[in-house]
Amino acid sequence: MRKNKLNKTLGIIGGGQLGKMIGLAAANLGISCYFYDSDKNAPAQKISQLFFNYSFDNKKKLEEFAKYCDFITYEFENIPLNTLHKISKYRKIYPGIKALQISQDRFLEKSFIENLGIKVTDYKKVNSLDDISKTLKQKFKKGIIKTRRLGYDGKGQTIIDLNNVENIKLKIKPNFYILEKLISFKKEISVIAIRNKKGEIKTFEPTQNLHKKGILRETVFPAQISKKCSLSAKNIAKKIAKELNIVGIIAVEMFVLKDESILVNEIAPRPHNSGHWTIDACNISQFDALVRSIFDIPIPQIKYLNNCKMINLLGENFNNYKKYLNKKNCSVYIYGKNKIKTDRKMGHVNLIL
């Protein structure tokens, strides 16, 4: 059963907080949202008009889901590619399958970006402890081993140097890890680029990100970097958006070095935690921008209404949200997860500066 043409529907794969916030933005534009997630308690379930709670390899249900929707988007990188291929037989998927495929694998991701002439952190595919020792000896002394796939919020990462290679507890499997040089960066920033169906690209201004234990804690707009550095960062994000041919948004995480040169860390072709500030500090948010690109709705010039600090509420400090509720410069967002866990993103606060 298709909806009549006036009532458009967006299908969102993944019902986490990002999916939920895409859904809310779509609702503001009169678009209905259907979600697909294998977790029946996913936060977006609370706002979903139709919630498909099936596994990501249920071919029949994926097909049914796709046919209900006009377009499909996804909210996390680690969706099996097979799922998307099954859906793409019926409906267009944005920001795009190629972008997702590349961002799912750190090795493909870094090689792709490097081939565009954009600098990335020094990295190497490593298949054995011997490879790791050699790379540390020959290329850089300190590094981070990262799983190529399925890592997020610093998961699957181990800092390593020549002195502790022998003690490393990882079982090194072929094609499973990369080793990256440990960078002593001056700042971490990110840029979100928006690309519409005509290929026009805009970006939000860079923001400055503070991570601890690999997890984003705070994002501040504006980033404390020079105009020149900001321009380079935006141009890098634009180039990646163009070359990946996305429709929608893509976040590009970067390291800024002492001399203000930039290394790209990673990309995410979806809304990003470091873009939540746009909900309260801009005329359109990253979520609005994604929905507008998908449905070919004009995207205005981005206006910055306020400076802003976004603070993540993780499991261990979740109860802090109470202290922000009654403050006039704070907007509190609670994701509605069913269990509080240490390091789990439970909500965020946008503090207008």
Rounded to an integer, what distance in angstroms lies between the CA atom of residue 95 and that of residue 269? 6
| Residue 17 binds to ligand ADP (criterion: CB under 6 A) | no
Footprint on residues 238-257 left by ligand ADP (CB under 6 A) = 253
Asked if 240 and 109 touch (Cβ cutoff 8 Å), the reply is: no
Burial of 165 (0-12, 13-18, 19+ CB in 10 A): middle
| Residue 218 binds to ligand ADP (criterion: CB under 6 A) | no
Rounded to an integer, what distance in angstroms lies between the CA atom of residue 231 and that of residue 237? 10
Cα angle for residues 181, 183, 189 (degrees, 5° grid):
125
| Residue 165 binds to ligand ADP (criterion: CB under 6 A) | no
CB of 70 to ligand ADP, least distance (A): 31
| Residue 105 binds to ligand ADP (criterion: CB under 6 A) | no
Sort strands 71-74 and 9-13 into parallel, antiparallel or unpaired. Answer: parallel
Record the tokens describing residue 335, joined without a space: 């994701």
Residues 6 or more apart whose CB falls under 8 angstroms from that of 311 comprise 217, 218, 348, 349, 351
| Residue 180 binds to ligand ADP (criterion: CB under 6 A) | yes
Residues touching ligand ADP: how many (CB under 6 A)?
16
Residues 6 or more apart whose CB falls under 8 angstroms from that of 18 comprise 75, 76, 270, 271
Report what 302 binds from Mg ion, ligand ADP, none; CB cut-off 5-8 Å by kind.
Answer: none
Q: Give whichever of 211 and 239 is closer to ligand ADP, judged by the CB atom.
A: 211
Of 65-73, 175-183, 239-247, 316-324, the segment contacting ligand ADP by CB under 6 A is: 175-183
Of 38-46, 112-120, 180-188, 305-313, the segment contacting ligand ADP by CB under 6 A is: 180-188
Of 26-34, 62-70, 181-189, 344-352, the segment contacting ligand ADP by CB under 6 A is: 181-189
CB of 63 to Mg ion, least distance (A): 33
Asked if 22 and 46 touch (Cβ cutoff 8 Å), the reply is: no
Instruction: Calculate the alpha carbon distances from 29 to 7, 32, 74, 160 in Å.
Output: 11, 9, 18, 48
Of 19-27, 147-155, 296-304, 331-339, the segment contacting ligand ADP by CB under 6 A is: 147-155
Q: Count other C-beta atoms under 10 Å from residue 160's C-beta.
A: 21
| Residue 183 binds to ligand ADP (criterion: CB under 6 A) | yes
Q: Give whichever of 253 and 280 is closer to Mg ion, judged by the CB atom.
A: 253
Beta partners for 52? 36
| Residue 147 binds to ligand ADP (criterion: CB under 6 A) | no
| Residue 152 binds to ligand ADP (criterion: CB under 6 A) | yes
Q: Binding marks (x or -) toward Mg ion, 246..275, rule CB under 5 A?
A: -------x----------------------
The binding site for ligand ADP (CB under 6 A) comprises 121, 144, 151-154, 180-183, 188, 211, 214, 253, 265-266
The binding site for Mg ion (CB under 5 A) comprises 253
